[in-house]
Amino acid sequence: MPKVAVVFADGCEEVEGLSVVDVLRRLNFECDMVGLDKKEIDGDHHIKLTCDKVVDDSLLDYDLVAFPGGMTGSANLRDNDKLRDLMVKRHEQGKWDAAMCAAPRALAKYGVLKDAEFTCYPGIEEEALKYDPSAHFSEKITVTDKEHKILTSRGPATAWAYSYAIADILGIDTKQIKHAMLYDYLADNIQDSL
């Protein structure tokens, strides 16, 4: 079974990280909550998160590493040299990485979005493209770039789609869990509720 790490930094969008952890653990994935520089993280909305471990070289052992967004949280990810070095090594090894909301700017600064298709929170693409003008921005809900092994998504409302897309690329059929969590119901009925 694939192993996934979700990296949490102070100021992260809690729902974007916890949605991934929730979906993957429901599917019996090994999914670790990894603190950027400590185990106790204060999310953007002051929800206290207790991580399983702190970023270290074991990040290289995961099949996929996912970043939640949040302006402050993604800036903390973007500006951390240790994390950058590990993510560049992961990319060179051909491993999957995922980021949503504002966090794709961290991947862009690391240089791992080179020539990749990506999406992000509206407006963040400007910063991402300054770091890496070779990247290709899309407004899709989630973007899975299989060639570059990068998965990205837009923002808090797309956290479930992002979580299921992560499971999908790791080879798990998500049809049953989407039904059990009423995601298929939501997708079929969203227009009726607006």
At residue 191, does pLDDT exceed 70?
no
**What mean pLDDT comes out for the span 76-87?**
98
Q: Per the structure block, which two tokens stand in for 112?
A: 């791992």
The pLDDT value given to residue 188: 85
Q: In one letter, which amino acid is 120?
A: C
> Model pTM?
0.97
CATH superfamily membership of 3-193: Class I glutamine amidotransferase (GATase) domain (3.40.50.880)
**Is the pLDDT at 20 greater than 80, yes or no?**
yes
pLDDT one-digit tens code per residue, 38-71: 999 999 999 999 999 999 999 999 999 999 999 9
- Could you tell me which residues come within 8 angstroms of residue 125 by beta carbon, excluding any fewer than 6 positions away? 104, 118, 119, 137
pLDDT at 171 over 80: yes
Distance CA 82, CA 171 (A): 29
Residue 190 scores a pLDDT above 80:
no
Q: Which two tokens stand for residue 176?
A: 């049953």
